[in-house]
Amino acid sequence: MKRRLLIAAALVTLSAQAQTFPGARPITIVVPYVAGGPTDRVARDLAEALRRPLGGVIIAVDNAAGAGGSIGANKVAKAAPDGHTLLLNHIGMASMPTLVRKLPFKVETDFEYLGLVNELPMTLIGRPSLAASTYKELTAWINDNTGQINLGNAGIGSASHLCGLMLQNALKVDMATVAYKGTAPALADLIGGQIDLLCDQTTYTSGQIEGRKVKAYAVTTARRLTTPALRDLPTLQESGLKGFEVTIWHGLYAPRGTPADVLAKLNTALKAALKDADFIQKQEGLGAVVMNDKRVEPAEHKKFVAAEIARWTPVLKAAGVYAD
Ligand code: ASP
């Protein structure tokens, strides 16, 4: 009897929460990479765009970096399922299950999937002092310097790590990889000349490329980009790496058990944010494509992530790298 009363009381609380959600309490979007990087950029633009559809509530960004994105993701998996703590993560959602051996949660079942946010290319960039100025010159430089090349990434399991693995496989060259906690510190070291190469998302690299702070060699998408800062860059495919294609995507997630009506409100707000002209303009200026297809639907996004897990698992197992 007592248990039934408790359950009834809990249900009343949850439905009261849903009716008032989001109320005046701020919402936090957790980003599993450091501030100032490409994933952080997407989260901050999205936080702004979500604000109006969520009734003007404050939306903060919390950077919880490390362990292949699993520290931030775990924070959300374990947060109260009330819609006030969300996760913005990229393709790392699909690499974590293989790359992080002691993952303290299940990507497939410990989150409510809210929808896909955007897709964007990566760029292969080099330190400004690197002698090679074109992709062709870069391949010659790589051949002359095998065994001495440092390739940075934003951490084991990060998008830049995946891109670097694919690059080494495609070129059949081993490079020493240097893992950072996000792109912001990796890029600072690239500009400072401590590392030679980095493959990272355009949401951060396009500004550096435009400002000529780094050398830019190629984009990882199948087609060239139309973004002014990036349209002169060849694709890796046209440069000779047949079939090389990495497109990064970002999705939004809530902890498992978040009430259905709160999830519905969040998904409606996400769809409105993805139609926000300012958000679209900002993201397109950085080379990203804002989603407006069926993958913004939670069930479709979940299917999409499952397909991405299936796609990346064999690649990562073959590479044999793990984050503990
Ligand atoms: N771009 C990073 C990555 O390679 C993460 C970040 O700092 O946003 O995953």
Residue of 99, 161, 200 to test ligand 1 pocket, by largest number of atoms within 8 Å of CB:
200
Query: Average pLDDT, stretch 76-96?
Result: 96
CATH code for position 160: 3.40.190.10
Query: Average pLDDT, stretch 302-308?
Result: 96
The answer to whether the CB of 220 is under 6 A from ligand 1 is: no
The answer to whether the CB of 236 is under 6 A from ligand 1 is: no
Confirm if 215 and 136 have CB atoms less than 8 A apart.
no
Domain contains 232: no
Q: What is the CA radius of gyration of the chain?
A: 20
Least confident piece of the model among 4-13, 94-103, 194-203:
4-13
| Chain segment 235-289, per-residue pLDDT in tens | 999 999 998 988 999 999 999 999 999 999 999 999 999 999 999 999 998 889 9
Same domain, 113 and 256: yes
Cα(191) to centroid(ligand 1), Å:
16
Same domain, 93 and 180: no
Cα(18) to centroid(ligand 1), Å:
33
Same domain, 21 and 98: yes
Alpha helices by DSSP H, listed for 21-149, are: 38-51, 70-77, 92-99, 135-144
Domain contains 313: yes
Q: Which residue has the tokens 């792109």?
A: 183
Cα(154) to centroid(ligand 1), Å:
5
> Closest by alpha carbon to 43, among 255, 260, 268, 204?
204
pLDDT of 4 over the 70 cut: no
The answer to whether the CB of 152 is under 6 A from ligand 1 is: no
pTM for this prediction: 0.87
Mean pLDDT taken over the chain = 91
Helices 38-51 and 202-210 pack at an angle, to 10 degrees, of 110
User: Going by CA atoms, what residue is nearest to atom 5 of ligand 1?
Assistant: 182
Same domain, 189 and 215: yes
pLDDT at 131: 94
Confirm if 170 and 253 have CB atoms less than 8 A apart.
no
- Please tell me the total count of domains within the chain: 2
The answer to whether the CB of 95 is under 6 A from ligand 1 is: no
Q: Which atom from ligand 1 is nearest to the alpha carbon of 248?
A: 9
Domain that holds residue 147: 121-219
